[in-house]
Structure 1
Amino acid sequence: MTPLLISIQWVLGKLGLPGWGFIASNYYKVLRGLLRIRVRVVGTPVHGRAVLYVSNHVSWSDIVVIGSLAPVAFVAKREVASWPLVGITAKIQRTVFVDRTRRHQTGDAVSQIVERLKGGTSVVLFAEGTSSDGNRVLPFRSALLGSVEDAAAAHQGGADAILIQPIAITYTGQQGMPMRRSQRPLVAWYGDLDFMPHIKRFVGEGVVDAVVSYGPPVPADGTLDRKAMTRKLHEDVRRLMVSALRGRPIPANQPQPVAPSVTVDLVAQEKISA
C-alpha cells in the first residue's frame, strides 16, 4: 500500500493536482485500523485554515494517530529522511526535516514550516525534541518553536496571524482496560528501543486506546516572547495530558491550572486503575 501511495502522491505533486491531503489522511486511517488503535478526540481542532500544532511525543504511532485525523505535515529529525521506505514516504508527506545539531540550518526548516502554513498545510511540531515514556511531558525546546513564532509574526499579523494550537496525545487503554503506568512502554518508543521489535510487540498486544486532546489556539502575533509562549504551550499540553490520564478530560476551551499535587494524584489514579 505504501509504494502505491508514494506513486500517486508523487504524480499529484508533479502535475499540481489536488488530493494530497485526502490521500494522506485516509492512508493513516487505514494504518490506524491495521494497527488496531482506537482514537477519541477531546476539544475542538481549528477548521478552515492552516494551524501549527504543538504536541508532546510518545511514539512513532503518534504520526499515524494525528495524521489520521486531518491532513498535516510533520517536523522530523534529519535522520528520518534516510530511513528505508519511511524516508521517502515522509518526503512525499511534506515532512520538514530538522538537524538540531546545526543551528545555521534551523532557519531553513523554519522557512519551510512557515511556507507550509502559508500554503494552507497544517504542521505538527513535537516540541519536546524527543519522545517520552508516555507518563509525562518533557520540557519544550524554545529555540525552534520560538523561531517559528517570530517568523510567522513577521509574515502575518492581526487577524491573519498564524495560529498555534496545543495537542496532547495520551495512550490510555489496552484491550479495553485502563493502561497502567508500567504498561505504557508498550506504546512508548523512546531511548534506545529498536523499531522493528517494538512494532512487532505493539501489533501483538492487541487494541490500544489513544486520546487526542486539543487546547485553545494562540495567535503567533509576537504578543508573547518565545519563552513565555513555550511555557504556556507546555502547560496547556501537560494539563490536557493529565486530564486524559485521569480519565476525566476537561473542555479544551476552559484551561485550568495544574495543581502542585498533580504527581500524587496521578499515582493515586494509577493505583485505582490497577
Structure 2
Amino acid sequence: MNPWLPTAPCTPRTCAGHEGRMRGRPAAAALLLAGCACILAGALAAPFVPLLGAARRDRLIRRWAYGVVRSFGVRVRITGTPAAPDGNPGAPGTLVVANHISWLDIPLVAAVFPGRMLAKSEIRGWPLLGPLAARGGTLFVERDRLRALPATVRTIGAALRGGSRVVVFPEGTTWCGRGPGGRFGPAAFQAAIDADAMVRPVRITYRAAPSRSTGTTGRTGPAAGCRPAGHEGSAPAEHTAPAEHTAPAGAAAFVGDDPLLASLWRVVTAAGLTAEIRVLPPIPASGLPDRRALARRAQTAVANESANRPPESVHH
C-alpha cells in the first residue's frame, strides 16, 4: 500500500447516517443555496483580498469561513487559545494539524487559523471550492505519486520559513469521527522540523442534537460503522452551550466514495448539527528527536482531547 495514500474503513453507508432531528426540504434547500452563495461570494472577493493588510486579511477570512459553516446550518463551537499572528517578521510560520472528518473541516479550521491548506489535487477541480482554494494559496499534492512526497515536504518547509501558516490533515484521508481515526503521517512534520516551526494541533468534532418527541425526526442512513473502541475577538459573541449536543454526528462525515452533493444535502437536512474545534497547546518542532516522534506527539494530543469535555464557548 502506498503510505502517501492511506485508506479508512469508513463508508457513507455505514458511517454517514443521521439519527437526530431533520429539516424539511424547503428549509434545507434554502440553506444549501445560502451556503453555495457564501462560497461564491468568497470566490469573487478572493482576487482583492491580497490587497489588504495581513491583520485585516486574517479577520476577513475568519469571518467568511465562519459564515460558510453557519450558512449551511451548522453551529460552531470554538474553544482554546485564540489564533494570533505568527511570530515576528522573518520568523517561521506555524504548522496547524487536525484530524479529518469532513469538507466542513476546511472552513472550520480557517475560521480559527486562516492559512495555506495542503490538499489533494482533486480538489482543484471541484466547482466553486476548487478555484477558491487555488486563489487562497492552497498547496496541492498528488497523493498517488509517492515520488512527489519530497517535493511536497520542501514546498511546505519553504512556506513555513517564509512565515506562512500551513494547515495539514496528516491522517491523509477522512474518517467518520466515531472511532480513533487514522495515524498521523510524519511527512509534513519533517517540514516543520526543517523550518524550526511551531506545530499547533487542533481537534475537530461534530455533534448532533438528539431527537425530540415534539419535533421532526428522521434518519438519512445507518451510522453503525467505525464506532470507538475539540477566540478570535472578531468572531460573534459567546453564548451558553446547550446541553443537548452530546451525540457524535455522522451527518457531517465525508468519507469513501461519498459524492459531494450527497454530503452537502445530508448536512443541510441534519438539524441541530454543531461543529466543535478545540485549539490545543503548541508543540515546538525542535523539542522532539525526529518527525515520527513529532507526529506521534501531535496525534496523541488530538486523540487524548476528549470529545465529551464541557465546551467553554458556543458561537451561533
Please, what TM-score do these two structures have when normalized by structure 1? Answer: 0.76
Is the 8 Å Cα contact of residues 39 and 209 (structure 1) preserved in structure 2? Answer: yes
Q: Hey, what's the Cα distance between the residues in 2 that align with 1:141 and 1:211?
A: 20
Identify the range of structure 1 (122-131 vs 109-118) with the bigger mean alpha-carbon deviation: 109-118
Is the 8 Å Cα contact of residues 32 and 65 (structure 1) preserved in structure 2? Answer: yes
Q: CA deviation at 1:146?
A: 3.6
Q: CA deviation at 1:98?
A: 1.4
Does residue 1:27 correspond to 2:64, yes or no? yes
Q: Hey, what's the Cα distance between the residues in 1 that align with 2:184 and 2:129?
A: 25
Map 1:153-192 → 2, pairs under 5 A: 161-174=196-209, 177-181=244-248, 184-192=249-257
What does residue 136 of structure 1 align with? 179
Map 1:120-131 → 2, pairs under 5 A: 120-131=163-174
Map 1:106-255 → 2, pairs under 5 A: 106-152=149-195, 161-174=196-209, 177-181=244-248, 184-221=249-286, 223-240=288-305, 243-244=306-307, 246-248=308-310
Does residue 1:102 correspond to 2:145, yes or no? yes
Q: Hey, what's the Cα distance between the residues in 1 that align with 2:285 and 2:84?
A: 17
3-state SS of 1:178 partner: coil
More helix by percentage? 1
- Look up the equivalent residue of 2:207 and give its one-letter code: T
Across the aligned residues of Structure 1 and Structure 2, the Cα RMSD in angstroms comes to 2.5
3-state SS of 2:286 partner: coil
- Look up the equivalent residue of 1:151 and give its one-letter code: D
Q: CA deviation at 1:104?
A: 2.5
3-state SS of 1:115 partner: helix
What does residue 79 of structure 2 align with? 42
Q: Hey, what's the Cα distance between the residues in 2 that align with 1:150 and 1:71?
A: 21
Q: Hey, what's the Cα distance between the residues in 2 that align with 1:110 and 1:21?
A: 25
- Look up the equivalent residue of 2:183 and give its one-letter code: F
**1:149-200 CA-partner distances (Å, limit 9, x unpaired):** 3432xxxxxxxx310011100112337633535xx22111111211101211
- Measured at CA, do residues 48 and 20 of structure 1 come closer, stay the same or move farther in structure 2, by a change above 3 Å? closer
Q: Which runs of 4+ in 1 moved over 6 A?
A: none
- Look up the equivalent residue of 1:220 and give its one-letter code: A
Q: Hey, what's the Cα distance between the residues in 2 that align with 1:205 and 1:139?
A: 26
3-state SS of 1:137 partner: coil
- Measured at CA, do residues 56 and 206 of structure 1 come closer, stay the same or move farther in structure 2, by a change above 3 Å? same
Is the 8 Å Cα contact of residues 26 and 68 (structure 1) preserved in structure 2? Answer: yes
What does residue 265 of structure 1 align with? none
What does residue 27 of structure 2 align with? none
Q: Hey, what's the Cα distance between the residues in 1 that align with 2:175 and 2:122?
A: 19
Q: Hey, what's the Cα distance between the residues in 1 that align with 2:40 and 2:270?
A: 27
3-state SS of 1:185 partner: coil
**1:21-55 CA-partner distances (Å, limit 9, x unpaired):** 33322221221221122222232145231321111
State the identity as a percent.
28
- Look up the equivalent residue of 2:187 and give its one-letter code: L
3-state SS of 1:170 partner: strand
3-state SS of 2:172 partner: coil
Q: Hey, what's the Cα distance between the residues in 1 that align with 2:133 and 2:251?
A: 24
3-state SS of 1:142 partner: coil
- Measured at CA, do residues 248 and 30 of structure 1 come closer, stay the same or move farther in structure 2, by a change above 3 Å? closer
3-state SS of 1:209 partner: strand
Greater relative contact order (Cα < 8 A, sep 6+) = 2
- Measured at CA, do residues 214 and 100 of structure 1 come closer, stay the same or move farther in structure 2, by a change above 3 Å? same
Please, what TM-score do these two structures have when normalized by structure 2? Answer: 0.67
- Measured at CA, do residues 8 and 17 of structure 1 come closer, stay the same or move farther in structure 2, by a change above 3 Å? farther
List alignment gaps of at least 5 residues for structure 1. Answer: 153-160, 251-274
- Measured at CA, do residues 142 and 198 of structure 1 come closer, stay the same or move farther in structure 2, by a change above 3 Å? closer
What does residue 272 of structure 1 align with? none
The total of aligned residue pairs comes to 236
**1:57-98 CA-partner distances (Å, limit 9, x unpaired):** 010111121112242221111111122222111111211111
What does residue 9 of structure 1 align with? 46
- Measured at CA, do residues 196 and 126 of structure 1 come closer, stay the same or move farther in structure 2, by a change above 3 Å? same
